[in-house]
Amino acid sequence: MQKLASTLPNMVLSLTTISVVMALALSFVYQKTKGPIERSKQAKITNAIAEVLPEFDNNPVEDKLSVEGEKVIVYRATKNGEWVGSAVKTYTDKGFSGEFILMVGFLPDGSIYNISVIEQKETPGLGTKMGESKFKDQFKQKNPEKNNLTVKKDGGEIDAITASTITSRAFCDAVSRAYEAFKKGGAQ
């Protein structure tokens, strides 16, 4: 096969052909992975709801209320038709490494049942400790209406993660946002 001359039209044709082929390849990969990625995200939410609430027999994902678009969502859980609590998907953008997402479970009296970290990008070994029991269990059985759920440096009741006060404050911010959403749509 004869080598093409290095002219502007030949270069444009070559680059256009390569670009079209790569765009088609990316489109194909996107279409193939879109469904599994979405199912994985939904499974993460479903597992977090089960982790932060007492036993329930309905599908809370079907009984949800968006409070701040897709960022703050309240999932109501019932057992035998009786409301057992609400899980609130919440976020904060005040983390050391930006936004992170939590699921906070509230009992009907407004007290926190459990908290699960869904997504975070905090510093490994420091801010990532927010997902450990030693830190997040401080919130259990506390009612944000009655307890000061801020770090002790700010006059609250929560021991901050050593060397991660920013992350600890952000976690408290997300819990506070969850409680406001609970009051708006989950406490009925």
pLDDT tens-digit profile of 40-85? 888 999 999 999 999 999 999 988 898 887 889 999 999 999 999 9
CB 118 within 8 A of CB 124: no
For residues 186 and 107, is the Cβ–Cβ distance under 8 A?
Answer: no
| 22 located within any domain | no
pLDDT of residue 17: 95
C-alpha span between 112 and 94 (Å, rounded): 21
Q: What is the pTM of this model?
A: 0.82
In which domain, by residue range, is 98 found? 49-186
Q: Is residue 40 part of a domain?
A: no
The end-to-end CA distance of the chain, in Å, is 76
**Is residue 20 assigned to a domain?**
no
Question: Quick check: is 8 in a domain?
Answer: no
- How many domains does the chain contain in total? 1
Three-state secondary-structure class, residue 137? helix
Is residue 110, in this structure, part of any structural domain at all? yes
Is 18 within the bounds of a domain?
Answer: no
Give the chain's mean pLDDT.
92
Residue 25 lies in a domain: no
pLDDT in tens, 79-128: 999 999 999 999 999 999 989 999 999 999 999 999 999 999 898 988 88
Count, residues in the chain: 188
Q: What is the side-by-side order of every strand in the sheet holding 98-106?
A: 64-68, 72-79, 82-95, 98-106, 112-119
Q: What are phi and psi of 52, to 5 degrees?
A: -100, 0
Query: Is residue 19 assigned to a domain?
Result: no
From 60, 40, 39, select the one nearest 51 (Cα to Cα).
Answer: 60
